[in-house]
Amino acid sequence: MTQLVFCVLCDTVMKTIAVSEKAYTRLASWKTGRDDTFSAVIERLIPPKGTLDAALEAAESLPVLPSKEFESLEKAVNATRKRLRASWK
């Protein structure tokens, strides 16, 4: 597994973290432009641990899903609900 190392700015202190190439690619895909930093992406997408308000705020900041992706997600959720309901009986 290839690991990429990059620095993240945390309150004016730089921290170096190692992530897999797959994780780096996924994180980079959320950048909105050249001026968007990895720190900004992480802060935008990951709410502080244990805070429902922060989780809801983060969810509201996500981009709107295209209708095909929304329908696919909705089908997957409904299928999972059906499987769970059947297992509860």
Q: What confidence tens digit (pLDDT) does each residue in 11-64 have?
A: 567 788 888 999 999 999 999 888 999 989 988 888 777 778 777 887 888 888
Q: Which residue has the higher pLDDT, 85 or 17?
A: 17
Q: Which residue has the higher pLDDT, 5 or 37?
A: 37
Average pLDDT for 65-88: 86
Q: How far apart (Å, rounded) are the C-alpha atoms in residues 89 and 87?
A: 6
pTM, full prediction: 0.46
User: Would you state the pLDDT for residue 29?
Assistant: 92
Kindly report the backbone phi and psi dihedral angles of residue 8, in degrees, each rounded to the nearest multiple of 5, phi listed first.
-120, 130
User: Would you state the pLDDT for residue 22?
Assistant: 92
